[in-house]
Structure 1
């Protein structure tokens, strides 16, 4: 996969993490873990992560930041990886087991911009909830 697609996936994860105004340590750890272990990130130079994150922040802070980051990211991601992009965003937002209204809104915006059907996005959401559940006390 090319550098632009890797960067785009990371940009979407960062936006997902910051959609509730601040990135938590859990979210940052999850992003790094996903980059370290998922095949989609094979070939990504991990030493670039901070630069990629800063680039995302710069665009977010500019005019029409959120739309621009999302549109640029989706344009750089191959269509066959759009479900992966959504799944990565879900993974990052689900890490704290509670989604704030802002996170839900970001995921809704992302769903609307991606070429995914509602059944696919629902399956991704259910799978993430199942993976993050804890044993009842």
Structure 2
């Protein structure tokens, strides 16, 4: 294998994204939650009084598609994890409890990913990736 400085950034970012995504989806599935449902529950946790459905779709839609987020909202409502009041949605007690379990899982997954990586190394990696994205004319934004 070539030295790291000569290896393709795009290859490794795709592989990392695939590996992290698969691990996250598999772990969430054990709790009966899809990744888009997790994103919705997370947004609802930030807005306990409720949030406009379109705001949730606009915020987390770039992680997948608007359609996937709309489906996650609908299925979360069907599962009793959220309720709608007009265009506003908010977590139910069941949804808030599920969010807490999923958040604890996400903390465990982050600790797993960080094994052998310092916070400084992680911050440098994120900064380099953001700069690379901007260097090719894209938007390096995350909610």
TM-score band (shorter)?
0.3 to 0.5
TM-score (norm 2): 0.36
More strand by share: 2
More helix by share: 1
TM-score (norm 1): 0.37
Which protein shows a greater Rg? 2
